[in-house]
């Protein structure tokens, strides 16, 4: 292995605690945890509204909740990809 790969491997091996790994991943890809949190919020709100859905059928309510949760996750992933592309091509262009 080259020295560049060894330094990267030793950096990853030095982080042994779960918290430090989670923080490192959050810094590398911040929109994935945001998407997961948004998904949890949409599901929580949907479950709260489940009691007060009125005369709407249960299956229709669940379909709406699923579409909203998936839309939030896809939106967060799209924002993450756009952010990554912006960082790679605009902020630090390759020479």
Walking along the chain (95 residues) 10 residues at a time, the average pLDDT comes out as: 54 68 79 81 86 84 88 87 85 70
Q: What pLDDT score does 6 carry?
A: 56
Question: Quick check: is 65 in a domain?
Answer: yes
Nearest 5°: the CA angle 24, 25, 28 is: 90
Count of domains forming the chain: 1
Coil, helix or strand for 60? Answer: helix
Question: Quick check: is 29 in a domain?
Answer: yes
Question: Quick check: is 9 in a domain?
Answer: no
Cα distance between residue 44 and residue 55, in whole Å: 20
Owning domain of residue 32? 14-47+60-89
Cα distance between residue 82 and residue 29, in whole Å: 12
Q: What pLDDT score does 26 carry?
A: 79
CB-CB neighbours of 64 under 10 Å: 14
């Amino acid at each position: 292995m080259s020295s560049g790969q060894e330094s990267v491997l030793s950096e990853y091996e030095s982080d042994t605690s779960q918290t430090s790994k989670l923080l490192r991943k959050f810094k590398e890809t911040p929109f994935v945890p945001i998407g997961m949190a948004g998904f949890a919020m949409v599901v929580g709100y949907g479950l709260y509204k489940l009691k007060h859905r009125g005369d709407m059928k249960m299956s229709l309510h669940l379909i709406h909740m699923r579409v909203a949760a998936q839309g939030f996750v896809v939106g967060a992933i799209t924002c993450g990809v756009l952010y990554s592309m912006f960082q790679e091509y605009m902020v630090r262009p390759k020479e």
